[in-house]
Amino acid sequence: MQSPIGIFDSGIGGLTVANAIRQVMPHENLIYFGDTAHMPYGDKSAEAIKYYSLKIGKFLQEKGCKAIVIACNTASSLGYQDLKDFLGDDLPILNVIDPVVEFCSLQPQYHKIGVIATKATIKSDVYAKKLKIALPNIEVKSLATPLLAPMIEEGFFNNNISKTIINTYLSSAKLKKIDSLILACTHYPLIRKEINEFYQGKVDILNTATIVADDVKQKLEVLNLTNTSKEEPKHQFFVSDKTKAFETSTQLFFGDKINLTLKNIWDKV
Ligand code: DGL
């Protein structure tokens, strides 16, 4: 129960999920892996994304994690099933897509849902497929927004550049008349405010990080894996390449008690 929860993403995006998990489960120890050397995942092939997911999953398993959260929509779209098959049933693997689809299925007021995500996530069509199964009458409008994750990773948000890029994407005819929008990339909660400003409160912008965190909490409780110790939690952060943006963001989310460890996991296994 005291073992850490493993969380990974291509970069800082998964920190939005890690931070939300920390809010709802303040006693859990976390191990985070940001694959900054391969960021962005959104432009990579399905094979590459699967390969990275397996390597990182194995690393987190070897670190003794009690569960792994794939805090990346791209890796959840393309690497989830492979990682589950690879690590077997002993280690719960959670993705960021199913909880959001489940959340939508409980919102009868949604009729036309927009999905913005990386090219790889949109190409996989996983949201549209899963939403259609859960809500057969729903209309799903998907748009690839490939500039957003690198833009955020570089620290460009809440400024004129991000505003112009966000407004250009959201003005797309594809997203016309949507009533709700899934931020289907874990980087996007960092620009949620700007997206909300664009829609002026007329579109329901899902807070995907908190939906996922609530789901992780519930799943760990069901599996009896919640940490009951009231000790101060210990968090560890690993990156495959040390970047300034990641360092600044981890500081922002987790205060000053963080140590970034550079970890090369690629020539092993
Ligand atoms: N944060 C990631 C996601 O949720 C991926 C961003 C990227 O590396 O392209 O899809």
Instruction: Using the predicted structure, report yes or no on whether residue 269 has a pLDDT greater than 50.
Output: no
Pocket of ligand 1 contains residue 10 by CB under 6 Å: yes
Q: How many CB atoms lie within 10 A of CB 159?
A: 11
Q: How far is the CA of 186 from the centre of ligand 1 (A)?
A: 6
Last residue of a domain, one of 208, 231, 251: 208
Q: How far is the CA of 37 from the centre of ligand 1 (A)?
A: 13
What would the pLDDT profile of 66-106 be if each residue is shown by its tens digit? 999 999 999 999 999 999 999 988 799 999 999 999 999 99
Q: Which atom of ligand 1 is nearest to the CA of 77?
A: 10
> How far apart (Å, rounded) are the C-alpha atoms in residues 249 and 254?
8
Q: What is the pLDDT of residue 153?
A: 87
Q: Which atom of ligand 1 is nearest to the CA of 41?
A: 8
Instruction: Calculate mean pLDDT across residues 220-241.
Output: 94
Do 127 and 51 lie in a common domain? Answer: no
Q: What is the pLDDT of residue 252?
A: 79
What would the pLDDT profile of 32-69 be if each residue is shown by its tens digit? 999 999 999 999 999 999 999 999 999 999 999 999 99
| CA-angle at 9, arms to 54 and 242, nearest 5° | 105
**Does residue 269 lie in a domain region?**
no
> What total number of domains does the chain contain?
2
The residues that are catalytic are: 72, 185
Pocket of ligand 1 contains residue 227 by CB under 6 Å: no
Domain extent, residue 51, equals 5-95+210-262
**Does residue 238 lie in a domain region?**
yes
> How far apart (Å, rounded) are the C-alpha atoms in residues 121 and 138?
19
Instruction: Using the predicted structure, report yes or no on whether residue 267 has a pLDDT greater than 80.
Output: no
Whose tokens are 């987790």? That residue is 254
**Does residue 184 lie in a domain region?**
yes
Domain harbouring 240, CATH code: 3.40.50.1860
Do 142 and 164 lie in a common domain? Answer: yes
Pocket of ligand 1 contains residue 185 by CB under 6 Å: yes
What would the pLDDT profile of 173-184 be if each residue is shown by its tens digit? 999 999 999 999
Pocket of ligand 1 contains residue 208 by CB under 6 Å: no
Do 71 and 55 lie in a common domain? Answer: yes
Q: What is the pLDDT of residue 256?
A: 67
Contact 185, 42 (CB under 8 A): yes
